[in-house]
Structure 1
Amino acid sequence: MRVLVVEDNVNLADVVGMGLRMKGFDTTVIYDGRDAIDELDDSRWDLLILDRDLPGVHGDEICRRLRARHDPVHILMLTAASRTNDIVQGLGLGADDYLTKPFAYAELLARVEAVQRRLGLADTGPFVRGGFRADFHTGDISMNGEPLRFGQRELAVLRMLVEAHGAVVGVDRLYDEVWQDDHAHAKSIVKSTVYTLRSKIGDPNLIETVPGQGYRIP
């Protein structure tokens, strides 16, 4: 499921984004309302986690525009305003759900997973290739029955490759979605992470390099 997080609190946005990626959601984080409008115009999203009080373009206006053009994206609105009138107003603008700050990450995740179930995009089960088995729902990953341990970013890269269903995932996309910052050596960082994954898995052929394009699990 594709999730767009729009939140101007950078630390909060990054924590939410990383947490959702670790759970296997294809997540992009944006910190400004104008950038959010551009992203929503260019791509289709399943879920928009939208802060109301945004710089650039207010969250209310983003919500209003999406509903005016009948965009089917599910909108979960975030706000520090917890009065009943504020909640009613947000839902009246077209939000599907509402979560007040501060919130527990577990509650946010439960609401995201509820959207996933309603959209029929729930996890289809463990990924198995030969002796390799990965169940991202439980976090159990093993090779020939032996448990494997990965860092957060290693796991995020592995999951992106698995969920591409054999398609090539470009280096730029891997870096942008897992690290989400600018770095002159992004290609080397991704290459090093893939090397570590191959070493830990013990099967160098599981992750295939596609020269000039990226990586895939065929």
Structure 2
Amino acid sequence: MNILVVEDDRRIASFLERGLAAEGYHVSVERDGRDGLERIRADSFDLVILDRMLPYIDGMEVCRVIREENLPTLILMLTAKDSLQDKIEGLKGGADDYISKPFAFDELLARIVALRRRGGTEQPKLLRAGDIVLDAAAHRVSKAGTPLQLTLKEFELLAYLMVNADKVVSRQRLLSSVWDYGYDPGTKIVDVYIRYLRKKIDSADAPSLIQTIRGVGYMMTRQ
């Protein structure tokens, strides 16, 4: 799972970064609302842990823009404001959940798991890349109208790449998001499954839909 922490308190940001990384999550940190919003627009995150009180652009405005622009990420708002009205405003503003400071790390982890389980942002029903069409709801994939038989992990890997089409996705992010693995520099499982997918979705007379970005990871092209 790819998580962005937007928190201006360096102590809290460092604590979250180290703690979540130790749990196997891929974590990035930004320390103000302006940089946080730019990062969310540029990259793909499964979850944003968003402080409400931020420099330049506050968390409520960042949350509003994320929802207005339909950026596909869950939002867990983190704040020192703990009144009922503040929580209501945060949830109405587009947050998927709301946790008050100070908080127990175990509670934060439990909320992340709950958010991931229920999902927060609606993905497109049909994903397309070249002549490949993936129907997430029906769990079907076809190539030029012909159904493809994929294993569960092949399907999940393809879906993740198609959701992030035309964006470079690192091997570590794929490990975290598709396999729930922490950092393991020795594993070749991502590369192995990419080979499996290429054999099933690529055409012999055309470039691969999944490009290798040397030293980084892979990118699915829409073509």
Normalising by the smaller structure, the TM-score range is 0.5 to 0.7
Percentage of matched positions with identical amino acids: 41
Residue 204 of structure 1 is matched in structure 2 by: none
> Contact 1:17–1:29 at 8 Å: present in 2 too?
yes
Asked whether the equivalents of residues 24 and 160 of structure 1 are also in contact (C-alpha less than 8 Å), the reply is no
The answer to whether the aligner puts 1:165 opposite 2:181 as a matched pair is no
**Once the 2 structures are TM-superposed, how far is the Cα of residue 15 of structure 1 from its aligned partner?**
0.7
Provide the C-alpha distance between the structure 2 equivalents of 1:48 and 1:58, rounded to a whole number of angstroms: 14
5 Å-filtered alignment, 1:36-115, equals: 36-115=36-115
Q: Deviations over 1:182-208 (max 9, x none)?
A: xxxxxxxxxxxxxxxxxxxxxxxxxxx
**Counterpart of 2:82 in 1: which secondary structure?**
coil
Q: What SS class does the counterpart of residue 28 from structure 1 fall into?
A: strand
Question: Residue 45 of structure 1 contacts residue 73 of structure 1 at CA under 8 Å; is this kept in 2?
Answer: yes
Moved over 6 A (4+): none
Q: Could you tell me whether the CA contact under 8 Å between 1:5 and 1:29 is conserved in 2?
A: yes
TM norm structure 1: 0.56
Aligned AA (1:92): K
What is the match of residue 143 of structure 1?
none
> Where does the alignment leave 5 or more consecutive residues of structure 2 unmatched?
120-151, 153-180, 192-213, 218-223
Q: Secondary structure at the match of 2:185?
A: helix
Residue ranges of structure 1 left out of the alignment (5+ in a row): 125-156, 168-211
Distance 1:12 1:162, change over 3 A: farther
Give the aligned CA root-mean-square deviation in angstroms.
2.5
Whole-angstrom distance in 2 between the partners of 1:93 and 1:164: 42
Separation in structure 2 between the aligned mates of residue 163 and residue 52 of structure 1, nearest angstrom:
38
Shift of 1:162: 6.2
- Alpha-carbon spacing, 1:32–1:165, altered in 2? closer, same or farther (3 Å): farther
**Aligned residues of 2:96 and 2:115 also touching (Cα < 8 A):** no
How far apart are 1:163 and its partner, in Å? 7.5
Work out the CA distance in 2 between the residues paired with 1:40 and 1:77: 15
How far did 1:12 drift?
A: 0.6
Q: How many residues align?
A: 135
Distance (Å, rounded) in 2 between the aligned partners of 1:53 and 1:214: 34
- Using structure 2 for the length normalisation, give the TM-score: 0.55
In 1: Cα distance, 2:188 partner to 2:115 partner: 21
Distance 2:184 2:48 in 1: 20
